[in-house]
Structure 1
Amino acid sequence: MNATTTPNPASGSTDGPVAVVGTGVIGASWAALFLAHGHDVVAYDPGAGAEAALRAAVQEAWPALSQLGLAEDASPARLRFASSAAEAVADARFVQESGPERIDLKQRLFAELDEATPAAGPIASSSSGLTPSQLQAMCGLHPERIIVGHPFHPVHLIPLVEVVPGRCTDERTVKQTTDLYTALGKKPILVRHEVPGHVTNRLQASLWREAYSLVERGVATVADIDTAISYGPGLRWALLGPLVNQHLSGGTGGMAHTLEHLGPPAQAWMDDLHDVHLTPALSALLVQGVEDELASIDQTAMVAQRDALLVDLLRRKAEQTTLP
């Protein structure tokens, strides 16, 4: 959640609930965020024990959401669990779908959502791997209201969400989706052309590719790679993006000076980046490297400390007035 403002008590709607279909890690986090902003939420997931797991996840997220600020009428009690996807979306003003990334499952699910959701309601998918046009092809009634709203884990804390229209998506759906996410404290970016992985996963993949290659070639260990980012550029990236940071590194000359003086060596570095293939041997090397790095770490405590620092960072960033 981007804590630039305290949630508006009126951010919820009397025009119908928000439906969350698929309540795994991502869907549950979405549900908690909607509830924190005063929405009624109707959820559905066919998994065994899904309702209990969802309610536990909401309770687990609630302290962090409370620190960031709740709507006056926010309550986990405004969550209802439906017995089917069709029931969950029957009166929904907005649907956030977060089901498994399986084409066969998505085809059945989106056909059901398309038929059961009120015609004016956008259907946003959390999908990181499917394009909105692929999802629209699964809908015979209202493909124009299908859009991708791709978040980042943990969804209730990380502000970024990628809004990706498809070939059929209308402007009304783009605006409704972007406006709702903004009201949730999210930081939406509009992906103007469909590409596999959208924008941010492609940026991550470019870093992973070279990280994997450096580990495979013995240039650095897994722990070295993580230290290099988390105690180096990652600290700056949490405050300003890589291109603005590059601009600042040019001093008074800004980006123009940086590109003039560091452009040629940067080009040479980019030309030397290696292609890599996730062979079984490399996968085993990466897994072992992470296990070695975390061997003496309590991972439950690590995640709790990460989330606490995220909350503190978001609150501190909200106090600033000149960060883009």
Structure 2
Amino acid sequence: MRAAPLTYRSEEVRTVAVIGCGLIGGAWAAYFLSRGLDVRAYDPLPDGEARLAAVVKDALADLETVGGAQFGQGELSYFVDMAGAVAGADYVQENAPEKIALKQDLLQAIDALAPADVVIGSSTSSFPASDLQAKCAQPQRVVVAHPFNPPHLVPLVEIVRGGLTDPQAQDAAYRFFERIGKAPVRVAKEAVGHLANRMSAALWREAVHIVAEGIASVEDVDRAIRFGPGLRWAIDGPHMLYHLGGGEGGIDAYLRHLGPAQEARWATLGAPTLDADTCGKLIAGVAEEADGRSIGELKARRDRLMIAVLKALAADESGDR
């Protein structure tokens, strides 16, 4: 007799296990807590709890600035063994370093501990879900749930299924992240870099080509994006922007009248290599643009401005103009 399809937890998720508590795992923990979820955390390193506390403290301060978070409702518990963290969890988020053997072994262990209706998500930015599932006895509930950095601020979560993933598990993960205020997207077919990183890589490839060929400096490339298309990209994606670019005729008119011009530009795009000369130009150009500011200062500025953008977008979504 055929078994009934499994219903995975999504709407009923109240407790999340966060496995791996570095910058990504800590930011995830803070976000889950801010949405009223209890978090059960585990990290194998001896200073894991202290590192987690520091990341969570800073991330919660950012989230409080953004507004709309349910502070004080989520409870954080730290465990010295993974079994304790996974026990009682309705969803598991894995955040180990980007080493495939390590992630496979870790997911195999999580899979053995979590109930069959609990979805297991990996924060991996590199590996396809099919590879991550390789050692799991229940691979059908393993998905990639890839955040964009910093995870507590950027709404995007890419939900990617592998060759053995049950589509219902992907849907459950999608509904869960949507319910807690994220902006999930379903990636229906595995690709290196998933979705957003592929598009970012395409843009940076051309940016590197422009610098390598002496067309523009590092700083001018960055200024062109910051004060040009980057402003629009925070509002609409590339397809919608070209739909607007077609005027009253929309994307159909754009493709008919300006499609050939796009193809002409595509034909001239570069394919640079990161050789010593190119890397030297990039490093020198970034140093000039940074103008003595530390990585910490640059990150603080990024997060401060990102919070301002998020608040503006949230006001627009709520109709408060």
- Give the TM-score normalised by the residue count of structure 2: 0.90
Structure 2: runs of 5 or more not aligned: 1-9
Structure 1: runs of 5 or more not aligned: 1-10
Which residue number corresponds to residue 71 of structure 1? 70
CA distance in 2, matches of 1:133, 1:299: 35
Contact residue 131 and residue 196 of structure 1 kept, 8 A:
yes
Provide the secondary structure at the position in 2 that maps to 1:168.
Answer: coil
Contact residue 93 and residue 122 of structure 2 kept, 8 A:
yes
User: How many angstroms does 1:296 deviate by?
Assistant: 3.8
Q: Is the deviation greater in 307-316 or in 285-294?
A: 307-316
User: How many angstroms does 1:321 deviate by?
Assistant: 4.8
Q: What are the superposed Cα offsets for residues 96-119 of structure 1, whole Å, 9 maximum, x if unpaired?
A: 011111122112211211111222
Contact residue 12 and residue 40 of structure 1 kept, 8 A:
no
Which residue number corresponds to residue 60 of structure 1? 58
Contact residue 223 and residue 293 of structure 1 kept, 8 A:
yes
Q: Percent identity?
A: 42
User: In structure 2, do the counterparts of structure 1 residues 107 and 304 end up closer, same or farther at CA, with 3 Å as the change threshold?
Assistant: same
Q: What are the superposed Cα offsets for residues 208-240 of structure 1, whole Å, 9 maximum, x if unpaired?
A: 111111111111111111111011100000111
Q: What are the superposed Cα offsets for residues 271-309 of structure 1, whole Å, 9 maximum, x if unpaired?
A: 111112222332232222211110243543443333233
CA distance in 2, matches of 1:16, 1:183: 11
| Alignment equivalent of 1:87, drawn from 81, 84, 90 | 84
Provide the secondary structure at the position in 2 that maps to 1:281.
Answer: helix
| Alignment equivalent of 2:169, drawn from 173, 176, 189 | 173
Matching of residues 224-263 of structure 1 within 5 Å: 224-263=220-259
| Alignment equivalent of 1:317, drawn from 289, 301, 313 | 313
CA distance in 2, matches of 1:307, 1:89: 31
CA distance in 2, matches of 1:154, 1:319: 21
Contact residue 146 and residue 169 of structure 1 kept, 8 A:
yes
Which residue number corresponds to residue 185 of structure 1? 181
Which residue number corresponds to residue 127 of structure 2? 130
Structure ranking higher on relative contact order (CA contacts 8 Å, 6+ apart): 1
CA distance in 1, matches of 2:317, 2:102: 45
User: How many angstroms does 1:81 deviate by?
Assistant: 1.4
Q: Is the deviation greater in 117-126 or in 298-307?
A: 298-307
Provide the secondary structure at the position in 1 that maps to 2:316.
Answer: coil
CA distance in 1, matches of 2:317, 2:50: 41
- Give the TM-score normalised by the residue count of structure 1: 0.89
Q: Does 1:99 align with 2:62?
A: no
| Alignment equivalent of 1:113, drawn from 110, 114, 118 | 110
Contact residue 100 and residue 132 of structure 2 kept, 8 A:
no
Provide the secondary structure at the position in 2 that maps to 1:320.
Answer: helix
User: How many angstroms does 1:70 deviate by?
Assistant: 2.0
User: How many angstroms does 1:27 deviate by?
Assistant: 1.0
RMSD, aligned CA: 2.1
Q: What are the superposed Cα offsets for residues 82-134 of structure 1, whole Å, 9 maximum, x if unpaired?
A: 11223321221100011111122112211211111222111100111111111
CA distance in 2, matches of 1:72, 1:59: 12
Which amino acid in the other structure matches residue 117 of structure 2?
A
Contact residue 143 and residue 165 of structure 2 kept, 8 A:
yes
Q: Spell out structure 1 runs of 4+ moving beyond 3 A.
A: 296-302
